[in-house]
Copies of this chain bind each other. A is one copy, B any other.
Amino acid sequence: MPTTDAAPEDDTPAGGASSPVRSVARALDLLALFTEDNATWTVRELTETSGLAKTTVLRLVDTLQQRGLLWSGEQGRISAGPGLLRWANLARTTWQVPEQARQVMRDLSDSCGETVNLYVRSGATRICVEQREGRRSVRHIVRVGDELPLWGGAASKVLLTGADDRALAAVAALDPAGRTVDGLRAEAAEVREHGHAVSHGEREVGASGVAAPVVDADGAVLAALALGGPTPRFTDEAVAEFTVAVRDAARRISRIGIGGRA
């Protein structure tokens, strides 16, 4: 730690322990623009895409570069920096799904022919922690580490069964369908009763999913195992078949456990 300045400060005008620190949020937003598909950016492009002032972008980029999280390449193009490798190792150590569980995901994907994702809940979002792409050429719309909203999709329904009222309120506040906390709680109760969830076109038109909970020894929801693909392939008949397969795979992963969270 380079500083021992302990003044109650920083940059959130309307402070309070639960408000996000604005410049940190902005720095993370900038970092989030760097993806495998959009690996390099100019300051101008970052400024235009972020809507931030150029001076702000310059200062944030400079800070992230000093920490090695961004990298100045040729012709003024900025890319992901080598400092991210440290987080890569840490993320792997902490979140890597056991090989046995990955094998279950591979088997599920192979038998159903669709993409399999494992999601955990993080506040009012879900994050993909493992993926096995289907053998068909589905568009790869979710990447490991991606944050997705909790208001839509089969995996979200499953994860909401493990959410407390505070999380449900946060989800309700973002829900484009305008569901209330009571509405979400009722839906969660239904999913809990059935032991799985199905969705068609909730988060993205034309995308369907079937999900089941991965639970710990006490039955608490740790993650959602989801099979996803184009709606035309998710007929009633296919969904019935998929449901049996996903539930079975989720039970097997529950027995194996995921990370230290089993």
- A residues with a Cβ closer than 8 A to B are 1-12, 15-29, 31-32, 34-36, 39, 49-53, 55-56, 58-60, 62-69, 71, 73, 79-95, 120, 122-123, 125, 127-129, 143-147, 261
Contact = CB atoms under 8 A, between A and B. Distances in A.
Given A82-B145, A88-B92, A11 B23 contact: yes
Contacts of A62: 17-20
Contacts of A95: 80, 82, 84-85
A197 to B, nearest CB: 20
Contacts of A24: 23-24, 27, 60, 63-64
Contact of A82 (B4, B16, B73, B129): B129
Given A39-B94, A122-B81, A145-B85, A10 B8 contact: no
22 contacts: A1-B49, A1-B50, A5-B51, A6-B51, A6-B53, A7-B53, A9-B56, A10-B22, A11-B22, A20-B62, A24-B27, A36-B89, A71-B122, A80-B95, A81-B127, A82-B91, A82-B95, A83-B122, A85-B144, A86-B146, A87-B87, A88-B88
B122 A68 contact: yes
Nearest to A92: B88
Task: Give the dominant DSSP class at A's interface.
Answer: mixed
Contacts of A12: 59
A122 B63 CA distance: 12
B122 A51 contact: no
Contact of A68 (B49, B64, B66, B147): B147
B10 A23 contact: yes
B85 A127 contact: yes
A147 B66 CA distance: 10
Given A6-B52, A145-B87, A122 B82 contact: yes
A195 B228 CA distance: 55
Nearest to A50: B1
B67 A4 contact: no
Nearest to A36: B93
Nearest to A119: B82
B79 A94 contact: yes
A39 B95 CA distance: 12
A255 B249 CA distance: 46
B68 A125 contact: yes
A154 to B, nearest CB: 19
Contacts of A123: 65-66, 68
B145 A88 contact: yes
